[in-house]
Structure 1
Amino acid sequence: MQLIDIGANLTHEAFDRDRDAVLQRARAAGVAQLVVTGASREHSPRALELARAHPGFLFATAGVHPHHASEYSAECDAQMRMLLAQPEVVAVGECGLDYHRDLSPRPAQRRAFEHQLQSAVDTGKPLFLHQREAHADFMAMMKQFDGQLPAAVVHCFTGTRQELFDYLDQDWHIGITGWLCDERRGAHLRTLVPHIPAHRLMLETDAPYLLPRTLKPMPKDRRNEPAFLAHIAHEVARERGEEPAVTAASTTHTARAFFGLPVA
Structure 2
Amino acid sequence: MHGLASSARITRGSSGESRWELATRPPAPRLRPYIRDLIGYTEQAPGPLRRRELPVPNVVVIIELGPPIRVFDAGSDRRHARYPGGFVAGLDDTFTITEHDGFQRGIQVNLTPIGARIFFGVPMAELTGRAVPVRDIFPRGHARLAERLEELPTWDARFDLIERALGERVDEARIDTGVVSWAFRRIEERGGAVDMRALARELGYSQKHVIDLFREHVGVPPKLLARLVRFDRLVKHLKAGATGTWAELAQRFGYYDQAHLARDVKQFTGTTPTRARAELIDLAGMSP
Q: Give the TM-score normalised by the residue count of structure 1.
A: 0.31
**Largest Rg, 1 or 2:** 2
Between 1 and 2, higher relative CO (CA 8 Å, sep ≥ 6) is seen in 1
Q: Give the TM-score normalised by the residue count of structure 2.
A: 0.29
More strand by share: 2
